[in-house]
Amino acid sequence: MKSNYKKLGAYIQQVSVKNTNLEVTKLLGVSITKKFIPSIANTIGTDMSKYKVVKKNQFTYGSITSRNGDKISAALLEDDEAIVSTSYTVFKVIDEDELLPEYLMMWFRREEFDRYARYMSHGSTREAFGWDEMCNVELPIPSIDKQKEIVKEYHTITDRIKINEQLNQKLEDTAQTIYKEWFVDFEFPDENGKPYKSNGGEMVYCDELDREIPKNWAYLKLEDVCNLITKGTTPKNMFDNKFNRSVTYLKAECINSYHGVDEKKLSYIEEHDHFKELKRSILEENDLLFSIAGTLGKFSKVNQKILPANINQAIAIIRVNQNEISLNYIEGLFLSGWHKEFYKDNIQQAVQENLSLTTIKALPILKPCNFVLQKISIVTKSILESFEQTNKEKQLMIELKDILLSKMATIED
């Protein structure tokens, strides 16, 4: 053990307070993302008095690791008290003048801790990382001032990540507002800069939509403005780390909610498989990726940076014919959430929700007149460039956060 490494057991103790008087009603679970989440368990007829109470600055973790892949579910409660299932272990720091709960939580967020906990898990039917194993965890415990300094640096980074996420949400909200104003209410600025419909803009009836649309606009299906709409497949061999002559491989989990790709979740395949087994779904720059299984409707544009690349069957490739319509316009439609109202009645339910390529191809597109198409393309381009900038900064902050967590192993007083 390094000189400043200590066994965690000397600093923590279990807490087992039952919800005897049923005073606490907020029921939470713990996710593999190291966060408390609202429980989805069916509690009808359940005796909630037996559930465990968790208070602010106390920890909860799930000892069973065999069901979590390579992650261990552990979280620090930062809000008011809650209750958790008796299957969880609740514990607290004995003396917060010696070990900050937030510092300890940083240690639990390290990938190295997950690997350690998974390796040390044991059991025949279900593998578990029990209380004894938790107490045997060794970590550097510097002075309390040093811990505060590290925690402050961590919060500076994570706060910036949150700000970028909020900025992206505002950009998405802006896109939705513009879409409704321009393509639902048809109050886009006319050639005089006035709202089109309310200022006498000419409307014509569209049979397919059963409503009026502006004159000189066309009703199309998504497939009418695309060169390709297809999906990927799963190759025989996949790798977690990049190697020579390898090809990037994306699953739906790689697509972020805000128009980007999570590079940490990328896998890799052999170049041979890319050009032979997966030939139909080889990606090109500016392809749009759209999740069609699991979490539906996430999208991203393919950047040259990740090429050569391929995808699995949970992602659709949408290759826009830019001679037919503006790529920025189609991106803006997806960003606005326009597609969701049209496919909600065509979701197929199997093990998980999914959409067919037939449904994607049939998504209705209103092609504006050239004047409006040029205007909306300029507006959308500005929004998308802002997305790209905030995503770059967010990715940088995530990398800094990972570096900080990794460096905890070498902390000196």
55-110: pLDDT as tens digits: 999 999 988 876 666 788 999 999 889 999 999 999 999 999 999 999 999 999 99
Alpha carbon of 152 to those of 8, 46, 103, 156, 205: distances in Å?
22, 41, 10, 6, 60
Whether 27 shows a pLDDT value over 80: the answer reads: yes
Average pLDDT over residues 146-163: 95
Whether 360 shows a pLDDT value over 50: the answer reads: yes
User: How many residues are given for the chain?
Assistant: 413
What type of residue is 266?
A: L
What percent of the chain is helix, strand and coil (3-state, nearest 5)? 40, 25, 40
Task: Output phi, psi for 88, to 5 deg.
Answer: -90, 155
Q: Give ranges for CATH 3.90.220.20 in the chain.
A: 5-141, 174-369
**64-94 burial: b if 16+ Cβ within 10 Å, else e:** bbeebeebbbbbbbeeeebbbbeebbbbbbe
Taking the C-alpha atoms of residue 301 and residue 283, their distance in angstroms, rounded to an integer, is 10
Average pLDDT over residues 362-380: 91
pTM value is: 0.81
Taking the C-alpha atoms of residue 356 and residue 102, their distance in angstroms, rounded to an integer, is 45
Whether 382 shows a pLDDT value over 50: the answer reads: yes
Alpha carbon of 132 to those of 89, 100, 127, 281: distances in Å?
12, 21, 14, 49
| Beta strands 211-214; 28-30: pairing state | unpaired
Average pLDDT over all residues of the chain: 87
DSSP per-residue codes, 4-73: TEEEGGGTEEE---B-TT-----BEEE-TTS-EEE-----TT--GGGSEEE-TT-EEEE-B-TTSTT---
CATH topology for 174-369 is Adenine-n6-DNA-methyltransferase TaqI; Chain A, domain 2 (3.90.220)
For the stretch 111-119, contacts whose Cβ atoms lie closer than 8 Å and that sit 24 or more positions apart, written own/partner, are 111/402, 111/405, 112/406, 112/409, 113/72, 113/137, 114/70, 114/71, 114/72, 115/70, 117/65, 117/72, 118/65, 118/70, 118/72
Specify the range with the lowest mean pLDDT, choosing from 43-57, 120-134, 181-195. 120-134
Most confident of 71-75, 318-322, 341-345: 318-322
> pLDDT, tens digit, for every residue of 210-251?
889 999 999 999 999 999 999 988 877 766 677 666 888 888
Q: Tell which CATH architecture fits domain 5-141.
A: Alpha-Beta Complex (3.90)
**And the tokens for 22?**
């049923």
Task: Output phi, psi for 374, to 5 deg.
Answer: -65, -40
Whether 266 shows a pLDDT value over 90: the answer reads: no
Taking the C-alpha atoms of residue 389 and residue 375, their distance in angstroms, rounded to an integer, is 22
**And the tokens for 410?**
């070498």
